[in-house]
Amino acid sequence: MSGNVYINENTSFEKIAEYFPYLIQPLLEKGIKVIVCGDVKWGTIGEEIEKMGLKKEDILKELNEIAQKNGGPVRSLKLDL
């Protein structure tokens, strides 16, 4: 895969939600929920893919291709109130 690797098996759901929100929908289509009951899920993408018995390399490759097309991480929208 050419370009940057943004997402690997140790990437947390919190990082995905904060910096790669456009990956939430493609993950949901695979049955992987990033947000549960309004809160970001604990753990890493790799742990969840393994738990679900999905092909880790294929999913990580696809997520990184989407991230590259979207220009990588977005500026954090997190507000500390």
What distances in angstroms separate CA 6 from CA 9, 37, 39, 81, one per listed residue? Answer: 10, 26, 22, 28
Model confidence at 79, in pLDDT bands (50, 70, 90)?
A: low
Q: Are 32 and 48 in contact (CB under 8 A)?
A: yes
Structure tokens belonging to residue 37: 């009951």
What distances in angstroms separate CA 30 from CA 4, 20, 48, 65, 77, one per listed residue? Answer: 23, 16, 11, 16, 25
Residue 81 has pLDDT above 60, yes or no: no
Segment 6-61, tens digit of pLDDT:
999 999 999 999 999 999 999 999 999 998 888 888 999 999 999 999 999 999 99
Q: Are 60 and 66 in contact (CB under 8 A)?
A: no
